[in-house]
Structure 1
Amino acid sequence: MSAITALPARARAHLNAIDLYLARGGRPVLTGVDLTVSPGDRLGVVGENGRGKTTLLQVLAGTLVPDSGTVHRAGTLGVADQEMPIGEDRTVGDLIDVELAQVRAVLRAFESATLALVEERPGAEHAYADALAAAESIDAWDADRRVDISLAALSAVTDRARPLAGLSVGQRYRIRLACLLGAGHDLLLLDEPTNHLDADGLDHLTARLREHPGGLVLVSHDRALLSDVATAVLDLDPTSDGRPRTYGAGYAGYLEGRHAERERWETAYRDQQTERQRLAQDLSAAQNRLSTGWRPEKGTGKHTRATRAPALVRAVHRRQEELEAHVVDVPKPPLRFQLPRLDAPPGATLLRADDVTSHGRLTTPRSVLLRSGDRLVVTGPNGSGKSSLLSILAGTLPPDEGTVQRKRGTRIRLLTQESPPPSQRRAFEVYEATVGRLVSSGELAEPDTIGLTQLGLLPSEAAHRPVTELSIGQQRRLDLAILLAARPQVVLLDEPTNHLSMTLVEDLTQALTTTGAAVVLATHDRQLLRDTKPWPQLHL
Structure 2
Amino acid sequence: MSSPLSPSPVRTAHVRLSDVHLALGGRPVLSGVDLVAGAGERVAVVGENGRGKTTLLRLLAGDLAADRGEVHRSGSAGVADQQIPLGPADTVGALIDLELAAVRGALARLETATEALSDGLPGADDFFTAALEKAEALDAWDADRRVEVSLAALNAVDDRDRPLGTLSVGQRHRVRLACLLGAGHPVLLLDEPTNHLDAAGLEHLTERLRAHPGVIVLVSHDRALLAEVATTVVDLDPSSDGRPRVYGGGYAAYGEARRAERARWEASHAEQIAERQRLADDLSAARNRLRDGWRPPKGTGRHTRATRAPGLVRAVHRRQEELAAHVVAIPPPPARFAMPELPSHGGAILLGAAGVTVAGRLARPVDLVLESGDRLVVTGHNGAGKSTLLTVLAGELEPSTGTVTRSRSARIGRLGQESDLPGRRTATELYDEQLARAGISGPGLGELGLLGGYDRHRPVAELSVGARRRLDLALVLAHRPHVVLLDEPTNHLSVTLVDELTAALGTTPAAVVIATHDRQLSRDTESWPRLAL
Q: What's the TM-score bracket when you normalise by the shorter of the two chains?
A: 0.7 to 0.9
- SS of the aligned residue for 1:333 comes to coil
Q: TM-score, normalized by length of structure 1?
A: 0.79
Counting only pairs closer than 5 Å after superposition, residues 2-401 of structure 1 correspond to structure 2 as: 8-81=8-81, 82=83, 84=85, 91=94, 94-95=97-98, 98-101=101-104, 103-104=106-107, 107-108=110-111, 111=114, 115=118, 136-155=136-155, 162=161, 174=174, 176-195=176-195, 197=197, 199-340=199-340, 344=344, 351=350, 353=352, 355=354, 357=356, 360=359, 365-370=365-370, 373-381=373-381, 386=386, 389-390=389-390, 401=402
Measured at CA, do residues 33 and 313 of structure 1 come closer, stay the same or move farther in structure 2, by a change above 3 Å? Answer: same
- SS of the aligned residue for 1:330 comes to coil
- Counterpart CA distance in 1 for 2:109 and 2:260 is 48
- Counterpart CA distance in 2 for 1:129 and 1:104 is 13
- SS of the aligned residue for 2:309 comes to helix
- Counterpart CA distance in 2 for 1:233 and 1:75 is 21
Q: Which amino acid in the other structure matches residue 240 of structure 1?
A: S
Retained in 1: the 8 A contact 2:199–2:517? no
Retained in 2: the 8 A contact 1:7–1:134? no
- Counterpart CA distance in 2 for 1:96 and 1:527 is 31
Q: Structure 1 residues 237-246 or 256-265, which shifts more?
A: 256-265
Q: TM-score, normalized by length of structure 2?
A: 0.80
Give the deviation of 1:227 after TM superposition.
3.2
Measured at CA, do residues 109 and 532 of structure 1 come closer, stay the same or move farther in structure 2, by a change above 3 Å? Answer: farther
Q: Which amino acid in the other structure matches residue 245 of structure 2?
A: R
Q: 1:528 aligns with which of 513, 517, 521?
A: 521
Structure with the larger RCO, 1 or 2 (CA within 8 Å, 6+ apart): 2
Q: Which amino acid in the other structure matches residue 98 of structure 1?
A: A
Give the deviation of 1:196 after TM superposition.
5.5
Q: Structure 1 residues 82-91 or 103-112, which shifts more?
A: 82-91
Measured at CA, do residues 264 and 526 of structure 1 come closer, stay the same or move farther in structure 2, by a change above 3 Å? Answer: same
Structure 1 unaligned runs (5+)? Answer: 1-5
Give the aligned partner of residue 3 of structure 1: none
CA distances 1:390-422 after superposition (whole Å, capped 9, x unpaired): 56666777887457475x97x654233156755
Q: Structure 1 residues 235-244 or 510-519, which shifts more?
A: 510-519
Q: Structure 1 residues 55-64 or 29-38, which shifts more?
A: 55-64
Give the deviation of 1:35 after TM superposition.
0.8
Give the aligned partner of residue 506 of structure 2: 513
Q: Which amino acid in the other structure matches residue 55 of structure 1?
A: T
Structure 2 unaligned runs (5+)? Answer: 1-5
Measured at CA, do residues 92 and 52 of structure 1 come closer, stay the same or move farther in structure 2, by a change above 3 Å? Answer: closer
- Counterpart CA distance in 2 for 1:496 and 1:66 is 33
Retained in 2: the 8 A contact 1:40–1:212? yes
Q: Which amino acid in the other structure matches residue 62 of structure 1?
A: G
- Counterpart CA distance in 1 for 2:371 and 2:383 is 27
Give the deviation of 1:337 after TM superposition.
0.8
Q: Which amino acid in the other structure matches residue 142 of structure 2?
A: D
Measured at CA, do residues 513 and 97 of structure 1 come closer, stay the same or move farther in structure 2, by a change above 3 Å? Answer: closer
CA distances 1:180-230 after superposition (whole Å, capped 9, x unpaired): 323333222223334555554443222211111111112233444333322
Retained in 2: the 8 A contact 1:453–1:459? yes
Retained in 2: the 8 A contact 1:13–1:38? yes
- Counterpart CA distance in 1 for 2:171 and 2:389 is 30
- Counterpart CA distance in 1 for 2:398 and 2:156 is 38
Retained in 1: the 8 A contact 2:107–2:135? no
- Counterpart CA distance in 1 for 2:491 and 2:305 is 71
- Counterpart CA distance in 2 for 1:128 and 1:385 is 52
Measured at CA, do residues 281 and 92 of structure 1 come closer, stay the same or move farther in structure 2, by a change above 3 Å? Answer: closer
- Counterpart CA distance in 2 for 1:463 and 1:163 is 41
- Counterpart CA distance in 2 for 1:432 and 1:232 is 41
- Counterpart CA distance in 2 for 1:167 and 1:457 is 35
- Counterpart CA distance in 2 for 1:121 and 1:350 is 84
Give the deviation of 1:151 after TM superposition.
4.0
Retained in 1: the 8 A contact 2:50–2:467? no
1:502 and 2:501 correspond: no
Measured at CA, do residues 18 and 249 of structure 1 come closer, stay the same or move farther in structure 2, by a change above 3 Å? Answer: same
Retained in 2: the 8 A contact 1:352–1:367? no
Q: Which amino acid in the other structure matches residue 101 of structure 2?
A: V
Q: Which amino acid in the other structure matches residue 24 of structure 1?
A: L
Give the deviation of 1:318 after TM superposition.
0.9
Q: Which amino acid in the other structure matches residue 52 of structure 2?
A: G
| Percentage of pairs with the same residue | 58
- Counterpart CA distance in 1 for 2:159 and 2:483 is 49
- SS of the aligned residue for 2:318 comes to helix
Retained in 1: the 8 A contact 2:424–2:461? yes
- SS of the aligned residue for 2:11 comes to helix
Measured at CA, do residues 170 and 7 of structure 1 come closer, stay the same or move farther in structure 2, by a change above 3 Å? Answer: farther
- Counterpart CA distance in 1 for 2:419 and 2:79 is 32
Give the deviation of 1:320 after TM superposition.
0.6
Give the deviation of 1:291 after TM superposition.
0.8
